[in-house]
Structure 1
Amino acid sequence: TVSKKYEHVEERESKRITRKKKMGITQTYLRFGYRTTSGKHPDNPAMELFSTIMGN
């Protein structure tokens, strides 16, 4: 018998996309976000360092 391991993965809310259209504007601004650990999590200092390195 083969035993399979399954992990429960919570579905996240669908992504929100907002578009605004203004005529005559030639500048584009794009911003990405990602989920991270809470501020009290032990990995938070490492995530802050990563954010600084990536230019945030």
Structure 2
Amino acid sequence: MSHLLQPLAIFACGCLLIHAGRAYARATTMLLSATALTLSVTLGTLLCQRIGQ
């Protein structure tokens, strides 16, 4: 039984790491998207103000 335990533990750790990696990637992507959106909105507002003046 103990010889099955080690590969199983390694497999479980691998799965956890993959899930953590995916969650991290998703969070990073959302953060980058939000930052890009904020930047574009800010730039757009600035441009509109410049054109309006």
Give the TM-score band, short-chain normalised: under 0.3
How does the TM-score come out when normalised to structure 2? 0.26
Q: Which of the pair has more CA radius of gyration?
A: 2
Higher helix share: 2
User: Which structure ranks higher in relative contact order (CA pairs < 8 Å, sequence separation ≥ 6)?
Assistant: 1
